[in-house]
Amino acid sequence: MTTLIDGTTTALRIRARVAEKVAHSVRIHKRAPGLATILVGDDPASAVYVAAKRQAIREAGMRDVHHTLPAEASYPAVAALIDQLADDPDVCGILLQLPLPKGLDSAALIDRIPVTKDVDGLTTASAGLLARGADGLRPCTPAGVLWLLDAEGVELRGAHAVVVGHSELVGRPMARMLLQRDATVTVAHKHTVNLPSITRLADVLVVAAGVCGLIGAEHVKPGAAVVDVGIHRTDHGLRGDVRSRELQGHAGLLTPVPGGVGPMTIAMLLANTLVAFEQGQP
Ligand code: NAD
């Protein structure tokens, strides 16, 4: 029997809990957390993601502070906006939507966000805290994966976790977070030789390769917990990096696409914003 992990319901629960805490803060302190989103250019996928995040911000009762800059915005213009939001006491979180138009140095711009307002957990400072195992705001997608595994009671200490993908956004922070939880962690990537021989060692397999249907039954140890981070729009609807049908009756736990990790990313963004707000309260 394979149990499907319901990320949609878990994410809605987290969002409702965040909304309750925000409402409490508004009653007591007369202040709501302000989350600033910055969209540079007119990439349609980015516009959809930002719209979904802004709707979630409003539904949580937070202040939706949004800025759109044109695709030809200069580095100094984007930097000045980030600096202004960094100094704004009514903004507790800043999110710079990626990817940025070609020619803008994303890493340098992200690093202008103060670590205390880095609700996406993507600055070098936040990555450093995570690498050290110190407290800090964590990247939303890996944080969502960990939340789902915890909600299912998956034991991470001593488990062999394999992460497929080593991007700064998902794979690397995921591996560090699993290590922090005392899992034995192996990271595979596109240069890994004989991927199935590595992934079959996993008690917990997190797949974030961005390759539709990369992982099938031959990659998975029977009974393993498999988390599919990949999202691909296909003619048959949304699909992941995992051939989920093959894993039915083979994996122990499996996140579906859609309805698995995807909804958790926004829930974690709201949870991070609440933490940033509470830590910034006088
Ligand atoms: P990326 O392209 O930055 O990184 C992909 C990683 O996978 C790289 O480390 C690469 O070495 C590795 N890889 C590529 N081909 C491989 C192969 N054949 N075998 C093994 N490893 C391989 O992608 P990303 O930003 O980390 O995102 C990965 C996937 O997750 C994408 O499908 C993306 O859309 C999705 N994603 C989903 C969410 C969500 O909210 N659910 C959030 C972020 C990303």
Q: Which residue has the tokens 């000045």?
A: 80
Query: Which of 6, 21, 30, 53 is an active site residue?
Result: 53
CA angle 229, 246, 151 (to 5 degrees): 45
Domain 29-115 falls in which CATH fold?
Rossmann fold (3.40.50)
Give every residue of the chain whose pLDDT is below 70, as ranges: 282
Give the separation between CA 94 and CA 66, rounded to whole angstroms. Answer: 10
Strands, sheet with 34-40, edge to edge from the N-terminal-most edge strand: 63-69, 34-40, 93-96
The verdict on whether omega for the bond into residue 99 sits within 30 degrees of 0, i.e. cis, is yes
Output the CA 210–ligand 1 centroid distance in Å: 4
Query: Could you tell me if the CB of 171 is within 6 A of ligand 1?
Result: yes
The answer to whether the CB of 152 falls within 8 A of the CB of 261 is: no
Tokens coding 257? 């696409």
pLDDT for residue 252: 98
Distance from the CA of 208 to the center of ligand 1, in angstroms? 4
pLDDT, residue 45, reads 93
**Cis peptide bond prior to 282, omega within 30° of 0:** no
According to DSSP, the residues that pair with 261 across neighbouring strands are none
Q: For residue 232, which atom of ligand 1 is closest to its CA?
A: 32
Active site includes 102? no
Structural domain boundaries of the chain? 29-115, 140-262
Alpha carbon distances (Å) from 272 to 95, 102, 257, 264: 11, 28, 24, 12
User: Which SS3 state, helix, strand or coil, does residue 235 take?
Assistant: coil
pTM for this prediction = 0.97
CATH number for the segment(s) 140-262: 3.40.50.720
Number of neighbours of residue 46 by Cβ within 10 angstroms: 17
Residue 281: the pLDDT is 78
Q: Each residue of 100-142: pLDDT tens digit?
A: 999 999 999 999 999 999 999 999 999 999 999 999 999 999 9
Domains 29-115 and 140-262 share a fold: yes
